[in-house]
């Protein structure tokens, strides 16, 4: 069991950048372009790791610590997420609270690193990031609490074990997965919350916070973002997929689900524009409402 968990964890660390390539390829195909190679993010990361760095003279050690804390926190979060039918490396009662708060730690330091530059743009991005995070966190927690109540398990691995596709938990996990999908888009800075390809500092959110990072630091940030995408994708897959008996079926199904989620994100990004900044809170409160519904339908 622990070997499977370890394999899942290593696979996540190695394959996470692939998903971004899938999303980009889907976007390119829909737009009628050839698009960049699917492995482009790997190449970018390698190139960035070999580069030197440029730092703003305003910045301090905190600016340099931001990407380090971000990456370490997300790697820790990755150990909690169940992958491919096996529990995460770390699994205990209430582990999803640690997951949410570790992601909060990453956000806190990313925001501080942005404020350290003293840039007005990065300050605005930091402020918006905090707004989104503050709204996404309750949606994530309530969604998982709904699953906990449905399965009478309070660890992520237990919840995923207890989910049956056609049983009583079907509607609960569907609603929770819908809430999770919105949280995924918000936390990974995707349309309709944020546009990773925007080129105007004023409208960026995540991208503007990391404008001043370069070299290996920027590679860490890109890699962290890829890991975060895998993390939420794996969580959604675990919530939606029924536990499989076959030890080979579960990893295959999870990989397929992750590819589908990456492709779906690409489709969403191709067919719709991001919503206005002032409307974003409504969307995230909507996610929290979905999660609350998942709880309410169990009250009878």
Partner 1 sequence: MNLSDSAAAQPQIGMMFLLFTLSVLLTGGLFALATGRAARISSAIGAITSALGGMLGCCAGVQALCASAPLRFDAAWHVPFGSFSLLCDPLAGVFLLAASALTALAGVYGHGYFASWRGKKPLGVLWCCFNLLTASMLVVITARNAVLFLVAWEVMTLVSFALVVFEHEDSSARDAGLTYLIAAHVGTACLLAMFIVLGQSSGSLDLAQMGVAGRLAGLVFVLAVAGFGTKAGFMPLHVWLPDAHPAASSPVSAVMSGVMIKTGIYGILRVLGMLGEPAPWWGWLLIGIGAVSGVLGVLFALAQHDLKRLLAYHSVENIGIIALGMGLGVLGRAEGMPDLAALGMAGALLHVINHAVFKGLLFLGVGAVAQASGTRNIERLGGLLPRMRGTALCFLIGAAAIAGLPPLNGFVSEFLIFLGAFKGAGSTVQLMAAALAVIVSLALIGGLASACFAKAFGIVFLGAPRSAAAAGARECCALMRAPMMVLAAVCVVIGAAAPWAVRALSPAIAQASGTAPEALVIAAAPLYWIALCAAALIVLLLVVALARKLSRAGKPTGQQVTWDCGYAAPTAKMQCTASSFAQPLLDLFYAVLRTRRDEDLPRGLFPVHARLHTHTPDLVRVRLLTPVVRRAYALMRRLRVVQHGRLQLYILYIVVTVVALLLWKLR
Contact set for partner 1, span 32-91 (CB under 8 A)? 49-60, 62, 64, 67-69, 71-73, 75-76, 79, 90
HSE-up of residue 38 (Cα within 13 Å, Cβ side): 10
Where in 184-243 is the site for partner 1 (CB under 8 A)?
201, 211-212, 215-217, 219-220
HSE-up of residue 161 (Cα within 13 Å, Cβ side): 11
CB-nearer residue toward partner 1: 45 or 258: 45
CA–CA distance, 93 with 47 (Å, rounded to integer): 41
CB-nearer residue toward partner 1: 86 or 119: 119
Residues in binding contact with partner 1, number by CB under 8 A? 78
Structure letter (DSSP) for residue 278: G
Where in 150-189 is the site for partner 1 (CB under 8 A)?
152, 154
Tell me the closest approach of the beta carbon of residue 281 to partner 1, in angstroms: 6
Tell me the closest approach of the beta carbon of residue 19 to partner 1, in angstroms: 21
Tell me which of 134, 252, 256, 275 binds partner 1, using CB under 8 A. Answer: 134
| Angle in degrees, CA 275, 276, 281, rounded to 5 | 85
Tokens of 178: 């819908």
Tell me the closest approach of the beta carbon of residue 250 to partner 1, in angstroms: 24
SS3 142: helix
CB-nearer residue toward partner 1: 137 or 194: 137
CA–CA distance, 217 with 214 (Å, rounded to integer): 6
CB-nearer residue toward partner 1: 62 or 256: 62
Contact 157, 90 (CB under 8 A): no
Tell me the closest approach of the beta carbon of residue 33 to partner 1, in angstroms: 28
CB-nearer residue toward partner 1: 112 or 268: 112
SS3 83: strand
Q: Phi-psi region for residue 239, left (φ > 0), alpha (ψ -120 to 50) or beta? A: alpha
Tell me the closest approach of the beta carbon of residue 51 to partner 1, in angstroms: 7
């Amino acid at each position: 069991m622990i070997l499977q968990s370890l394999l899942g964890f290593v696979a996540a660390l190695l394959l996470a950048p692939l998903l971004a390539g899938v999303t980009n390829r889907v976007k390119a195909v829909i737009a009628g372009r050839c698009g960049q190679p699917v492995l482009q993010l790997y190449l970018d990361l390698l190139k960035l790791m070999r580069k030197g760095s440029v730092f703003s003279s305003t910045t301090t050690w905190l600016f340099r610590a931001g990407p380090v804390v971000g990456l370490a926190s997300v790697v820790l979060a990755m150990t909690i997420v169940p992958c491919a039918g096996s529990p995460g490396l770390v699994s205990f009662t209430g582990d999803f609270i640690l997951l949410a708060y570790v992601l909060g730690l990453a956000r806190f330091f990313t925001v501080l690193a942005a404020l350290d530059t003293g840039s007005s743009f990065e300050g605005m991005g930091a402020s918006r990031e905090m707004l989104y995070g503050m709204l996404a966190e309750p949606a994530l927690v309530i969604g998982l609490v709904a699953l906990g109540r449905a399965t009478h398990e309070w660890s992520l691995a237990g919840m995923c074990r207890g989910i049956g596709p056609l049983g009583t938990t079907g509607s609960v996990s569907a609603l929770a997965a819908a809430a999770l999908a919105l949280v995924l888009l918000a936390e990974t800075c995707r349309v309709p919350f944020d546009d990773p390809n925007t080129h105007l500092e004023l409208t960026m959110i995540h991208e503007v916070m990391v404008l001043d990072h370069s070299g290996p630091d920027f590679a860490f940030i890109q890699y962290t973002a890829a890991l975060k995408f895998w993390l939420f994708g794996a969580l959604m897959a675990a919530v939606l997929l029924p536990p499989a008996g076959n030890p080979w079926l579960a990893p295959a199904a999870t990989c397929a689900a992750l590819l589908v989620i990456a492709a779906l994100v690409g489709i969403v990004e191709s067919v719709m524009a991001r919503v206005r900044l002032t409307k974003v809170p409504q969307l995230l409160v909507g996610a929290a409402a979905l999660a609350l519904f998942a709880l309410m339908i169990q009250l009878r």
